[in-house]
């Protein structure tokens, strides 16, 4: 979709270096964000997030499964991201691409490392049965900044997740109980991009081809950082990290208002 010839790409890079963006936004400005909850009734929790024309749906299924041998009292968390060919001509059928795997792992890291979900509370019978929180994020339309959208949709869906009925033997998915999945923290992910000396957020697909480095920063309410992922082919300096995390924190604070 984002087909850039060399001269247009150079033009975009030059513009970004001057602080001018492809669609006229200021550097630290997100496109409009819309969050809609409970978009699919068959999931125990779900949310649709739109950032501009990017649209993703996150769905949570709660299943009863076996704990891992090294953590017999902890429930499991599984995150999958599907880059369906529905969402972009660049996505292809087949096993998850490396891009999808990275998206899923970075989203997973934020939730897991912030300990937003108390995994001990997911234990039903130690060493035997625990709740498995299965998060799937499906991309409906790709128009840039998938990672921030996936992470936000995941949080919005988790906020609205109810346990299904469970009688000790079988899960009855036809009925949701009033028991909510407790979310102790809101680990919000913001990816900050760097081109030249300028930092910007929420890139379009064209801008995603024009950055030197990026840093995905997941932060919780009190400002602590719980996950990081650097991307891009160029290095960043300590000063960059300082500025990038500051920007991520400021943006996360704004975004958090949307989640309440």
How far apart are CB 90 and other proteins at their closest, in Å?
Answer: 9
* Cα within 13 Å of Cα(87), Cβ side: 22
How far apart are CB 79 and other proteins at their closest, in Å?
Answer: 11
Detail the DSSP E strand segments found in 105-207.
123-125, 129-141, 162-166, 171-180, 188-195, 198-201
Q: Identify which of residues 100 and 188 has a Cβ nearer to other proteins in the complex.
A: 100
How far apart are CB 84 and other proteins at their closest, in Å?
Answer: 6
Q: Identify which of residues 52 and 67 has a Cβ nearer to other proteins in the complex.
A: 52
Computed over its alpha carbons, how large is the radius of gyration of the chain?
19
- CA–CA separation, 107 and 95 (whole Å): 19
How far apart are CB 141 and other proteins at their closest, in Å?
Answer: 5
Characterise 60 by phi-psi region: left (phi > 0), alpha (psi -120 to 50), beta (else): beta
Number of residues written out for the chain:
260
Q: Identify which of residues 132 and 243 has a Cβ nearer to other proteins in the complex.
A: 132
Q: Identify which of residues 109 and 142 has a Cβ nearer to other proteins in the complex.
A: 142
Q: Identify which of residues 34 and 86 has a Cβ nearer to other proteins in the complex.
A: 86
Q: What residues line the site for other proteins (CB under 8 A)?
A: 1, 39-43, 46, 53, 55, 57, 59-61, 63, 80, 82, 84-89, 93, 95-96, 134, 136, 138, 140-143, 171, 173-174
How far apart are CB 249 and other proteins at their closest, in Å?
Answer: 31
Q: Identify which of residues 8 and 241 has a Cβ nearer to other proteins in the complex.
A: 8
How far apart are CB 107 and other proteins at their closest, in Å?
Answer: 15
Q: Identify which of residues 56 and 226 has a Cβ nearer to other proteins in the complex.
A: 56
- CA–CA separation, 50 and 150 (whole Å): 10
> 48 pairs with which residues across the strands?
36, 57
Closest to 114 (Cα-Cα) out of 39, 189, 7, 44:
189
Residue listed under structure tokens 């920063």: 217
How far apart are CB 131 and other proteins at their closest, in Å?
Answer: 13
- CA–CA separation, 247 and 205 (whole Å): 21
- CA–CA separation, 32 and 66 (whole Å): 41
- Encoded tokens for 72: 């017999």
């Amino acid at each position: 979709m984002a087909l850039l010839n060399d001269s247009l790409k150079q033009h975009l890079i030059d513009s970004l270096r001057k602080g001018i963006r492809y669609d006229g936004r200021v550097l630290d400005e997100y496109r409009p964000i819309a969050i809609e909850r409970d978009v699919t009734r068959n999931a125990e929790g779900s949310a649709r997030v739109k950032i501009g024309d990017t649209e993703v749906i996150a769905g949570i299924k709660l299943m009863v499964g076996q704990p891992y041998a090294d953590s017999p009292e902890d429930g499991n968390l599984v995150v999958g991201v599907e880059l369906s060919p529905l969402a972009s001509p660049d996505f292809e059928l087949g096993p998850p691409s490396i891009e999808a795997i990275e998206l899923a792992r970075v989203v997973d890291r934020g939730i897991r490392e912030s300990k937003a979900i108390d995994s001990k509370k997911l234990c039903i019978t130690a060493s035997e049965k625990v709740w498995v929180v299965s998060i799937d994020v499906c991309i409906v339309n790709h128009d840039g900044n998938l990672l921030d959208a996936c992470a936000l949709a995941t949080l919005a869906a988790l906020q609205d997740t109810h346990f299904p009925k469970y009688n000790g033997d079988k899960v009855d998915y036809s009925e949701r109980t009033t028991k909510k999945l407790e979310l102790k923290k809101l680990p919000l992910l913001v990816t900050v991009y760097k081109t030249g000396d300028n930092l910007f957020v929420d890139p379009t697909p064209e801008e995603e081809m024009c950055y030197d480095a990026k840093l995905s920063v997941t932060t919780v309410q009190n400002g602590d950082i719980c996950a990081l992922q650097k991307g891009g082919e160029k290095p960043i300096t300590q000063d960059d990290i300082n500025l990038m995390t500051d920007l991520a924190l400021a943006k996360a604070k704004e975004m958090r208002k949307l989640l309440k």
